[in-house]
């Protein structure tokens, strides 16, 4: 599933091509996603201008001039493409028509969704209401982290909890904990303040680096424009089971375990 850097890459793509332009038409090609695409979407949003496109965690928010909002989640395989010609491809779901091109949403596995909200509905939506702070902001700091770290939960699961911090998933949690030298099975209430500081530091560092490189393109995620997900070449533990650790560079191999049904990669020697 796309994590924060991948969704930010898509946001940048949509911002470049959609913000400030009048949407000539909207066509629902196939409304069957995780939730059905609203039938009144065309009526409420056609002929209008998108005034802003932001990201919240793993969600995209498109703001229209009439104060309606589209909340978009890419699921496992959702992506947008730009086409200068009218062309429908298998698994296309929604088309935004502009003067000289179309932006089309495609989703093979249909786990993504597109919801229509007004301002109050958006703020109160179950998807956003309880979400934790953005990890790249000042709100994600040692004081905030320390209050949550008292919970009896392993640190990997804590970082994956969207109510604790927004946008992190399997790939980046494994990479962050590796750089911070923290074992993913450690209970969060056992962390020292210096370890918390390291986790915060590398969260911000790794996410910023991944955004610059367009995220990763592991498995089904497709980057929406010419910017390729080069960060996959920088991964030090994720997907490297049974390969030699890049940090200790000795005969210690990256291990893979399952935590809450998700794969975790780490070095038992480097991460204590």
pLDDT at 40: 94
pLDDT at 79: 92
For 9-18, write each residue's pLDDT tens digit: 999 999 999 9
Query: Which one of the listed residues 2, 5, 135, 184 is annotated catalytic?
Result: 2
pLDDT at 220: 47
pLDDT at 229: 59
SS3 letters for 121-147? Answer: HHHHCCCCCCCCCCCCCCCCCHHHHHH
DSSP string, 59-77: EEEEEETTSEEEEEE-TTT
For 100-158, write each residue's pLDDT tens digit: 999 999 999 999 999 999 999 999 999 999 999 999 999 999 999 999 988 899 999 99
CA torsion angle for 129, 174, 210, 53 (degrees, to 10)? -10
CATH superfamily assigned to domain 4-124: MutM-like, N-terminal (3.20.190.10)
Mean pLDDT of 61-80: 96
pLDDT at 217: 58
pLDDT at 232: 74
Query: Which one of the listed residues 56, 151, 262, 268 is annotated catalytic?
Result: 262
3 among known catalytic residues:
yes
Dihedral sign from CA coordinates of 41, 43, 44, 50: positive
Query: Which one of the listed residues 11, 55, 58, 240 is annotated catalytic?
Result: 58
The percent of residues above 70 in pLDDT, for the chain, comes to 94
State the average pLDDT for the chain: 92
Q: Where are the domains of the chain?
A: 4-124, 142-266
Is 172 a residue whose pLDDT tops 50? yes
Q: Report the C-alpha gap between 207 and 185 in whole angstroms.
A: 22
Q: Report the C-alpha gap between 147 and 162 in whole angstroms.
A: 16
Phi, psi of 212 (to 5 degrees): -60, -30
DSSP string, the chain: ---HHHHHHHHHHHHHHHBTSB--EEEES---SSSPPPTTHHHHHTT-BEEEEEEETTEEEEEETTSEEEEEE-TTT-EEEEESS----TTEEEEEE-SS-EEEEE-SS---EEEEEEHHHHHH-TTTTT----TTSTTSSHHHHHHHTTSSSBHHHHHH-TTTSSS--HHHHHHHHHHTT--TTSBGGG--HHHHHHHHHHHHHHHHHHHHTT-B--TT---SSS---BGGGG-SSTT-TTSBPTTT-SS-B-EEEEETTEEEEE-TTT--
- For domain 142-266, give the CATH number: 1.10.8.50
Is 22 a residue whose pLDDT tops 60? yes
pTM (2 decimals)? 0.93
pLDDT at 223: 53
Is 162 a residue whose pLDDT tops 70? yes
21 among known catalytic residues:
no
Cα maximum dimension of the chain: 62
pLDDT at 212: 87
Q: Report the C-alpha gap between 131 and 48 in whole angstroms.
A: 29
The percent of residues above 90 in pLDDT, for the chain, comes to 86
pLDDT at 226: 47
Cβ contacts of residue 233 below 8 Å, gap of 6+?
Answer: none
2 among known catalytic residues:
yes
Query: Which one of the listed residues 3, 8, 63, 175 is annotated catalytic?
Result: 3
262 among known catalytic residues:
yes
For 181-235, write each residue's pLDDT tens digit: 999 999 999 999 999 999 999 999 999 999 988 777 544 445 554 444 556 778 9
């Amino acid at each position: 599933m796309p994590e924060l850097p991948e969704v930010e890459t898509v946001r940048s793509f949509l911002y470049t091509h959609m913000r400030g332009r009048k949407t000539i038409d909207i066509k629902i090609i196939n409304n069957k996603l995780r939730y059905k695409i609203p039938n009144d979407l065309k009526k409420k949003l056609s002929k209008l201008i998108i005034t802003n496109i932001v990201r919240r965690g793993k969600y995209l928010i498109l703001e229209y001039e009439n104060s309606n909002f589209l909340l978009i989640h890419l699921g496992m395989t959702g992506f947008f493409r730009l086409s200068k010609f009218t062309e429908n491809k298998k698994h296309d779901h929604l088309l935004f028509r502009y003067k000289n091109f179309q932006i089309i949403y495609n989703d093979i596995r249909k786990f993504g969704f597109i919801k229509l909200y007004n301002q109050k509905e958006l703020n109160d939506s179950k998807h956003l209401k309880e979400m934790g702070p953005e990890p790249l902001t000042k709100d994600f700091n040692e004081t905030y982290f320390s209050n949550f770290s008292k919970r009896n939960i392993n640190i990997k699961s804590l970082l994956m909890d969207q109510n604790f911090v927004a946008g992190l998933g399997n790939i980046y949690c494994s990479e962050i904990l590796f750089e911070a030298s923290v074992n993913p099975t450690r209970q969060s209430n056992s962390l020292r303040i210096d370890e918390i500081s390291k986790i915060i530091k590398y969260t911000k560092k790794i996410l910023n680096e991944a955004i610059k490189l367009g995220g990763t393109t592991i498995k089904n995620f497709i980057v929406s424009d010419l910017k390729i997900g080069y960060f996959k070449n920088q991964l030090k533990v994720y997907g490297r089971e049974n390969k030699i650790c890049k940090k200790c560079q000795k005969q210690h191999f990256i291990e893979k375990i399952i935590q809450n049904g998700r794969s975790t990669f780490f070095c038992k020697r480097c991460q204590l």
